[in-house]
Structure 1
Amino acid sequence: MRGLRPTVAAPLADDPLTAGDAARAVEAELGRVLDAALGRARDADPVSARDIADRVASLVLRGGKRLRTAFVWCGWRAAGGSGDATSVLRTGAALELLQGCALIHDDLMDGSPLRRGAPAVHVDLAGLHEDARMAGSSEAFATSSAVLAGDLALAWADDLLTETALGSPYGARLHREWQAMRGEMVAGQYRDLHAQATRASGVDEAVDIATLKTALYTVERPLALGAVLAGAGTAVLGALRPAGRCAGLAFQLRDDLLGAFGDPAVTGKPADEDLRTRKLTYLLAIGSGLAEASGDLEAADLLAPGAPSVSDDAVCRMRAELERTGARAAVESRIAELAGAGLRHFDRTGADPSVRREFAAVVERASGTAPERTGEAA
């Protein structure tokens, strides 16, 4: 694994760090953190280090947009942060490790075969031992091992955040934000599972799940974590929280569209899973509602979230109906509205115009839409 360590150098303390710099520099920080973590894992047990710890490190280092680190930086700068950005990078690295935990467990729960252009961790583990395959127990072995891999990523994330908090004058506040975020992540994942089990189909529930599972821990909490590192007051945090929630929802709605219409060669994950399983997403809930409102009960039934899984042919028809009913266009419009609202909320922090421009650029990357600031904040 040491050969995978990034070579990107972090900017010096007095260099003018940007959101893009932070997103790139966190690669080097992750390399340092993972080198140390892998060393401890090998000291504890070389077998689990080789099979579990190395796979966790490989996933974390294998791409990702590092958006959470960029949002930590934006929150830090909006609150007046400047100079040495080590705590920002370490908090960003902790978030990337937490994301590793979320991806491993989410792929396992959803049965997703791919992640970041490679086999998902549980799929990779299923082929690890010939004895398990011969005994027909490779699936149980892979499932149990993937749970442990996700747990290890979470432990590494907690260790790093705790170390960062202990070295910060705002450590107690930083840790409270982190605690809240972890609880929200678990709640969001459970609500996702609960919606599948109960065949939930409502737009409001889709938004609740997207908020808990994605918007809070991808944008709102990272912004707040960064702001807290700069000692932010209530006014700045009061602007950043809705800014993050709006931008985070825009990000999740874009992910919904990519899950239905994206190219796996670009996204690194399958493009039809959400449709095949008729998972409750904002896109599917809107599509089903539009079809029902138009009196097209056949299309409404086809697009109904929570219904039994469908065939490849039905997935193709679902895509066509999402286009025909206007659901795809409606979601695109809502993404633009949310992204624009996020920018307007962020403007209320009083951040320097250069920081506002960088936040806008990160939101555009996350949402796939160039946001506009017209109108009132949502």
Structure 2
Amino acid sequence: MISTGTDAALRRLLDNGRARAATIDPHHAFLWDALVEATEGGKRFRPALVISTHDALGGTSPDAAAEVGAAVELLHTAFVIHDDVIDDDHLRRGRPNVSGTFRARGRALGATDDGAAYGLTAAILAGDLALAAAVRAVALCGAQPDVVRRLLDLFDSALHTTAAGELADVRLTLDRGPVSLAESLTMEEHKTSAYSFALPLQAGAVLAGADAATTARLGDLGRAMGVAFQLVDDLIGVFGDPDRSGKSATCDLRTRKQTPLIVHARSTPQWDEISGHLGHELGDDELDEVRALLTVSGSRAFVEELAEQHLALARSGVAELGISLDLLEAVTVRRLTVVDGREVAA
């Protein structure tokens, strides 16, 4: 899905960063290596959105678009690394993530806390490095100064919005009374839509010289697309096969994430039984039980329908602007994970 130009730009950014790290300290070079590994294995649809939008709107700055696409991917990597810290996860796509890798290094160095502090430190720093590299790449992308300024404003807005969404994601897990569906959806829009969809779509438009109305419209479509994507991700976070999705099927339940799936379940007769499965690690039998309850309650079907509504809005909008629907379908619908005989978009 990612273009050759963006692939090369990302590799160049990572290689340059490692070269700088190697001149400072070998352990810092190890940290950069872990950061590089964190960029591997994804679908890279965010850079593809930048390129597709730029091309669809008649852009003539392919090199700058490739650099900005690479920057968006690095921004994603930063958020993934920090998100794993927030969720206390040490695996990503079935293998140790940055914190998991450096926990093991900490143990090898004689840490008395199972390497936890070293792993946490490394993950925070790696995420910071990725974030700084992303902003630097935008600043040096080669576009005209006024375009670079607009791009930096877009990145800054996405950072603020995503940070607010991540904070809300944790805040809503606190025992302060029932969370409304509107609150849950706003949290999901903020933490996912802003940087994964609205940002790359709008960045591609700005690079193509699109007018303000078109750029704003793409922001709206990106938010709809992002909510659909996150709703599907929530389903995978409970019903998915971790071996195929690379995502834990118990983390959201263990951490009491107030996703629309759980918010809807609270309004059903099955809630008392469902709530007993939240807040602790689940065995296979318990996971099967809560999956069955979330299905019987109608919560699973509710979220599937809500995702389709947002996706339909995004489909119609991107079609009007001439952006490839194939790309939209690929990142929201066609990655399928089979769950107890059913297919769930991943």
TM-score (norm 2): 0.89
* 1:305/1:101 CA distance change after superposition, 3 Å: farther
1:314 deviates by 3.6
Q: Which residue of 2 aligns with 1:363?
A: 328
Determine what percentage of the aligned residue pairs are the same residue: 32
Residues 54 and 208 of structure 2 are in contact (CA less than 8 Å); yes or no, is this contact kept in structure 1?
A: yes
CA contact (8 A) 2:93 2:246 kept: yes
Residue by residue over 1:196-248, the C-alpha shift from the partner in whole angstroms, topping out at 9 and shown as x without a partner, is 23455321111011101001111111100110111110221232122111111
1:244 alignment partner, SS class: helix
Q: 1:78 to 1:276 in 2, by over 3 A?
A: same
Counterpart residue number, 1:196 = 173
* Change over 3 Å in CA distance of 1:368–1:55 after alignment to 2: same
Please show how residues 104-253 of structure 1 align to structure 2 within 5 Å: 104-130=81-107, 132-136=109-113, 138-164=115-141, 167=144, 169-198=146-175, 201-253=179-231
Q: Using the alignment, how far apart are the partners of 1:226 and 1:166 within structure 2?
A: 12
Q: Is 1:42 equivalent to 2:22 in the alignment?
A: yes
- Aligned residues of 2:135 and 2:152 also touching (Cα < 8 A): no
The answer to whether the Cα contact below 8 Å between 1:253 and 1:282 also exists between their aligned partners in 2 is: yes
Q: Distance in 1 between matches of 2:5 and 2:298?
A: 41
Aligned to 2:339: none
Tell me the CA shift for residue 45 of structure 1.
Answer: 2.4
Q: CA RMSD in A?
A: 2.3
Unaligned runs of 5+ residues in structure 2 are 336-346
Secondary structure of 1:128 counterpart: helix
Shift of 1:167: 5.0
Report the residue type matching 1:170 in the other structure. Answer: V
Residue 79 of structure 1 deviates from its aligned partner by 3.0
Note if contact 1:276-1:315 (Cα within 8 Å) is conserved in structure 2: no
Aligned residue among 7, 25, 32 for 1:53 = 32
**Is the CA contact (8 Å cut-off) linking 2:77 and 2:130 kept in structure 1?**
yes
Tell me which residue corresponds to 1:10. Answer: none
Cα offsets for 1:319-366 (capped at 9, x unmatched): 1011111221222222221111012222443x3xxx3xx2x2222122
- Give the letter for the 1:346 counterpart: V
Distance 2:175 2:161 in 1: 20
Q: Alignment partner for residue 321 of structure 1, among 293, 296, 304?
A: 293
- Residues 246-265 of structure 1 aligned to structure 2 (within 5 Å): 246-265=224-243
The whole-number CA distance in structure 1 between the counterparts of 2:282 and 2:8 is 44
2:260 aligns to what? 282
Alpha-carbon contact 1:277-1:308 (below 8 Å) kept: yes
The equivalent position to 1:74 in structure 2, one of 34, 52, 58, is 52
> How many Å apart are 1:122 and its aligned residue?
0.7
| Counterpart residue identity of residue 225, structure 2 | A
**Alpha carbons of structure 1 residues 97 and 39: separation in structure 2 relative to 1, 3 Å:** same
CA contact (8 A) 1:206 1:281 kept: yes
Question: Which of 271, 291, 309 is the matching residue for 2:249?
Answer: 271
The answer to whether the Cα contact below 8 Å between 1:64 and 1:116 also exists between their aligned partners in 2 is no
Distance 1:107 1:255 in 2: 15
Q: Any conservation in 2 of the 1:215–1:248 contact (CA below 8 Å)?
A: yes
TM-score under structure 1 length normalisation? 0.82
Q: How far, CA to CA, are the matches of 2:132 and 2:36 in structure 1?
A: 13
Equivalent in the alignment of 1:331: 303
Q: Partner letter of residue 311 of structure 1?
A: L
Structure 1 stretches of 5 or more lacking a match? Answer: 1-19, 371-378
Q: Aligned partners of 1:343, 1:305: CA distance in 2, in Å? A: 38
How many residues matched? 333
